[in-house]
Structure 1
Amino acid sequence: MKSALICLMLLAAGAVFGSNTQAAPTFPQKEITIIVPYSAGGESDMTARKIAEIAGKLQLFSQPVIVVNMPSANTRDALRHVAGSKPDGHTLLLHHTAFLGAHALGTVPYSYKDFAMIGQSLITPNCLIARADAPWKNGTELLAAAAQSDKPIVVGASSIGGYAHILFEFYMNATKSNGKFKTIFFGSTTESATALQGGKIDIRIQPTGGAMNAVKAGDSKILTLLTEKGMPQFPGVETLGSLGITNIPMQRQGLWAPKDTPPAVLDQLGAALEKIVNSQEFQEFAASKAMIAEFIPRDQWIKYYQADEKIYDQIAADIKKAAKK
């Protein structure tokens, strides 16, 4: 009798409290969408699609992963869309350190702090590239020519406040060549590449993947890798490190979620991204594009952004100050 009474009491307690104790819903509940703030066919787009492809092959989620491009308004539309999405992990952003320069210069109203980090997928090195018939063999000769020239050497970048813009400002500061170059901005890397071959600009900042293709085509040459160390894809090419320049802000790309996404969901997404990045297929993909596949979890990745943010903010302040003169 006593045991039966205890069972009845437990059942009653379950009836009272059970409705308030629900298991957390499994993730994902629907397809996961990766938003890319750039056009289809670019390196960000190709990376997002490779992530989605490998996620499917490895069966990391019970739902498919799709990619949507939102290249309008200098990334603002994509950032606005993801920032305003429900923080449940089903809408993600693939982006990189363009966050820092655009926000520092006020061209984009969103900071990386407005999103939840998931993790780094890769690093995209950049370089200075010129036409194959340019008179300089490397960056050292370029700087020497710039110092002696009566008119500035014209360099192309994709957008004001973009990574290429900030990186070249860093380059001029580090090489003490301010005033020896004039920067012209284009709407895309394709436009600046066309301008280079058309003779409208002298050099341009280019991700190493695109530069590798241009060099293979025979119409361009790399003057300097804007990195501390050399790369196996470009043996013998000068680096900023060889010039004694360190602490170079790198273009770090990865996945982000809307702010306030539950940590458990971020952990699940981060674990999946780590498996993707460490897969042989992704490593080979990155190497073929002259990129560096390296997963960094969000608690460590943020430290790189915080360090680079100080560099970007100082460069942006210098740009604003010079513009007022």
Structure 2
Amino acid sequence: MNDKPPLSEGELITGIIRILSEADRWIVVTHCKPDGDTLGSGSAFLALGESMGKKVAWGGPDPFPEIYGFLYGADRYVPDIAPDFPALKKGDAVIVLDTSTRERSVHGIDSVSETVPVVNIDHHHDNERFGSIAWVDASASSTGEMCWLLFKKWGTAFSPEAAEALYTAIVTDSGNFTFSCTTSRTHEAAGELLDCGVSPEKLDCMIRCSRSTEGLHLRGRALERIFPVGGTAACTWLTLQDFIDTGSDPSETEGLVNELLTLRSVSFAALLVEEEDKVRASFRSRGGISAAKAAHRFGGGGHPQAAGCSLPLPLEEALQSVADLLEDTDGLRTSPSE
């Protein structure tokens, strides 16, 4: 029986700095369907590690989305980096970013030798806390904000590449500083990164103004299908055929679910995307209904305002299951302590 109290944030940060300082090589790992937070955090670690003379490799379970191709090291990202894991040895360290469960990480994460430390840095409250050391801060707007704090405590200088990457992580996961997870520390981090030379106009153009015509056609299909559920929710969907017809990429769906929240009287949004053997659901909330609680009903997870899950069902059945859940949302509401 382990009666030791949990480590404080300061102790966790000190432990991570020690582990990474002692390692000769870092393997930086993002989560499946990578977004701006996991990619921005990973790019910043790549830039930091190289500035310290470390050998750094990075990758994740899925391909790098074109929309974030401006990030430092995007051309060196390795999809399905897992096959290299069994060969890791003493002197290596694995850094898992913004990944709440092993299932959302690369499949070989459990094959890492016990002699190789696995550092888990995340802001999801339902993180499994896997790895050698797990620093989870659910009060942070993003994993990028946590990385900013870690690098500050480390005393490292922010290169232009690392600053842009961290700003990207923070701005995308905080909804351009509009989500309730945005705090004074979030703005402090953004302010310091601006002082490092980050251009908000440039990055906003890179992130939000780089859609393809095919991607807009895809989004149009989803927007024309929106239907109301239960008075305060709205749902829509995309099929595999939609991607084929429009010639668009799955990464084009990022941020699409947020469009549903711009509807008058809608405080909960759901986007269902058909894949080969399942349906991927993205939930967003701006009211009392918890997106995380909705995702948990289907084995997923996330934040009160942003969460997701996978449903091993045909698209029509998945849509019906989500709609049925949202017809009566009393059990999905956040409590005062959440």
TM-score by length of 1: 0.32
- TM-score, structure 2 length as denominator? 0.31
Larger Rg: 1
